[in-house]
A and B are shown apart, each in its own frame.
Chain A
């Protein structure tokens, strides 16, 4: 079976749920594995994701037709290069409306692209409602519920809350301690560069902390890819 080109859509209707962090982690995962990717940052005003990967991430205004052409036409190119879209929370509804209006989901099927929505959950009722609305809108959509324990912790009832979301697929992004987080958020810090060639002048505590944080995240990405490959395998 021919493999479809994956299109990861990192999104949330709310701010501070970690969507950009996930887009960044995915990008670093591909770089650390020596793979190409094509990213899209939909926030032309404050392109945090785009600024970190200037050679691989295009900054587009998804509210303008020109930006939509630059992004969606590229997302449908079946070249097996993973695509990553960081959808800013304030453009969330509009982004979905555009997807519906241009018939992106149907076209993705014929173009051998596989949209994967990484829905970033939080503990609010509105977050749950938005994920359910998304599942109703596109019942066949591959949705992964992402919880970022640092940005949007679900609290003690996490399991009960997650059980209500419409997908069993999950990514969990752990919380980082304050010092390591400050290091990660520095504008000139590259996670993939750190993983490939750890700077010798970095505190061993921070180094170990970052490694311990990122390892299970990358393991989840890898597991997701392996599972998808196995599901698509012809002779298993």
Chain B
């Protein structure tokens, strides 16, 4: 299995990027896929707060941090690297990766690259897609509609949609369903991964007293997300086994 880089990003803040990254971290951990994560929200990191044991906060514009991520892809035992990009920095992160030759290496088959592009509910998201197009030629590219914070997405006009996608290899859509606001807040307060909350434990593994109802909602929500990741054959993509579209 070649090393895989999963990038979660958006060019707009507040679209729930880190929620998607957290869901991915939980899913991969649940599937026993050893994963390390990088939070580019330097100097503090939200992903780090929830998945502290696997996450390192990095500055994607810093050469030493770029080396920390990319130069270790082949040497580390952990084959999946999950990068949660800072709000509004997807295009910049992609450019930084291009500048260090990452996409060439992906093209040569050294690495697997999977991009989860979290969309906002506005028309600006279509411009983001166009901007992302040059970087995803060899990627498994997913557009994420995140409903967790009750976003309602505009109805994309098919003609406009086609215009944006004419320069992009077809992208699959991933839907993150809505989670009860109260349940989401309680996980935030717990400061633990979703799966730890569901297991009624604190972040350091002690028994907790979380509401059964809220745990139930989070468990069902996670199951729906897992169905989505299974549908896109995420594990096969990571293993390099799924057919490229």
Which A residues are within 8 Å of any B CB, using their own CB? Answer: 65-66, 68-69, 72-73, 76, 101-104, 107, 111
* A101 contacts B220, C-beta separation under 8 Å: yes
Q: B210's closest neighbor in chain A, by CB?
A: A73
Tell me, yes or no, whether B134 is within 8 Å of chain A by CB: no
Instruction: Give the complex CA separation of A194 and B141 in angstroms.
Output: 71
* B180 contacts A65, C-beta separation under 8 Å: yes
Q: A68's closest neighbor in chain B, by CB?
A: B213
Interface string of B16-34 (1 = CB under 8 A from A): 0000000000000000000
Q: Which 5 A-B pairs have the closest CB atoms?
A: A102-B216, A65-B182, A69-B213, A68-B213, A72-B213
* A65 contacts B183, C-beta separation under 8 Å: yes
* B217 contacts A72, C-beta separation under 8 Å: no
The interface residues of chain B lying within 8 Å CB-to-CB of A102 are 212-213, 215-217, 219-220
CB distance from A147 to the nearest CB of B (A): 32
Query: Can you list 11 pairs linking A and B with CB atoms under 8 Å apart?
Result: A65-B180, A65-B213, A65-B217, A73-B211, A76-B212, A102-B213, A102-B215, A102-B216, A103-B220, A107-B212, A111-B212
Instruction: Give the complex CA separation of A103 and B222 in angstroms.
Output: 13
The interface residues of chain A lying within 8 Å CB-to-CB of B213 are 65, 68-69, 72-73, 102
CB distance from B44 to the nearest CB of A (A): 30
Instruction: Give the complex CA separation of A103 and B221 in angstroms.
Output: 12
From 55 to 110 in chain B, residues with beta carbon under 8 angstroms from any chain A beta carbon are none
Q: A71's closest neighbor in chain B, by CB?
A: B213
The interface residues of chain A lying within 8 Å CB-to-CB of B219 are 102-103
Instruction: Give the complex CA separation of A107 and B216 in angstroms.
Output: 9
CB distance from A98 to the nearest CB of B (A): 8
Q: With A65-B180, A76-B212, A102-B212 given, name 17 new contacts (CB 8 A).
A: A65-B183, A65-B214, A66-B182, A69-B211, A69-B213, A73-B211, A73-B212, A73-B213, A101-B217, A102-B213, A102-B216, A102-B219, A103-B216, A103-B219, A103-B220, A107-B212, A107-B216
* A101 contacts B214, C-beta separation under 8 Å: no
The interface residues of chain B lying within 8 Å CB-to-CB of A104 are 216
CB distance from A82 to the nearest CB of B (A): 19
Q: Is the interface of A mostly helix, strand, loop or mixed?
A: helix
Interface string of B194-216 (1 = CB under 8 A from A): 00000000000000000111111
The interface residues of chain A lying within 8 Å CB-to-CB of B215 are 102
Q: B221's closest neighbor in chain A, by CB?
A: A101
* A72 contacts B220, C-beta separation under 8 Å: no
The interface residues of chain A lying within 8 Å CB-to-CB of B211 are 69, 73
The interface residues of chain B lying within 8 Å CB-to-CB of A111 are 212
Q: B180's closest neighbor in chain A, by CB?
A: A65
The interface residues of chain A lying within 8 Å CB-to-CB of B183 are 65
Most buried by B among A65, A66, A104, A107: A65
The interface residues of chain A lying within 8 Å CB-to-CB of B182 are 65-66, 69
CB distance from A167 to the nearest CB of B (A): 26
CB distance from A97 to the nearest CB of B (A): 11
Instruction: Give the complex CA separation of A72 and B213 in angstroms.
Output: 7
CB distance from A165 to the nearest CB of B (A): 29
The interface residues of chain A lying within 8 Å CB-to-CB of B220 are 101-103
The interface residues of chain B lying within 8 Å CB-to-CB of A103 are 216, 219-220
Q: A72's closest neighbor in chain B, by CB?
A: B213
Instruction: Give the complex CA separation of A76 and B211 in angstroms.
Output: 10
Instruction: Give the complex CA separation of A39 and B180 in angstroms.
Output: 25
* B216 contacts A101, C-beta separation under 8 Å: yes
CB distance from A55 to the nearest CB of B (A): 24
Instruction: Give the complex CA separation of A66 and B185 in angstroms.
Output: 13
The interface residues of chain B lying within 8 Å CB-to-CB of A73 are 211-213
CB distance from B183 to the nearest CB of A (A): 7
Instruction: Give the complex CA separation of A111 and B200 in angstroms.
Output: 13
* B212 contacts A72, C-beta separation under 8 Å: yes
Q: B220's closest neighbor in chain A, by CB?
A: A101
The interface residues of chain A lying within 8 Å CB-to-CB of B212 are 72-73, 76, 102, 107, 111
Instruction: Give the complex CA separation of A66 and B186 in angstroms.
Output: 12
Q: B214's closest neighbor in chain A, by CB?
A: A69
CB distance from A126 to the nearest CB of B (A): 28
Instruction: Give the complex CA separation of A66 and B219 in angstroms.
Output: 18
Q: B223's closest neighbor in chain A, by CB?
A: A103
Instruction: Give the complex CA separation of A66 and B215 in angstroms.
Output: 13
The interface residues of chain A lying within 8 Å CB-to-CB of B216 are 72, 101-104, 107
The interface residues of chain B lying within 8 Å CB-to-CB of A69 are 182, 211, 213-214
Instruction: Give the complex CA separation of A72 and B211 in angstroms.
Output: 9
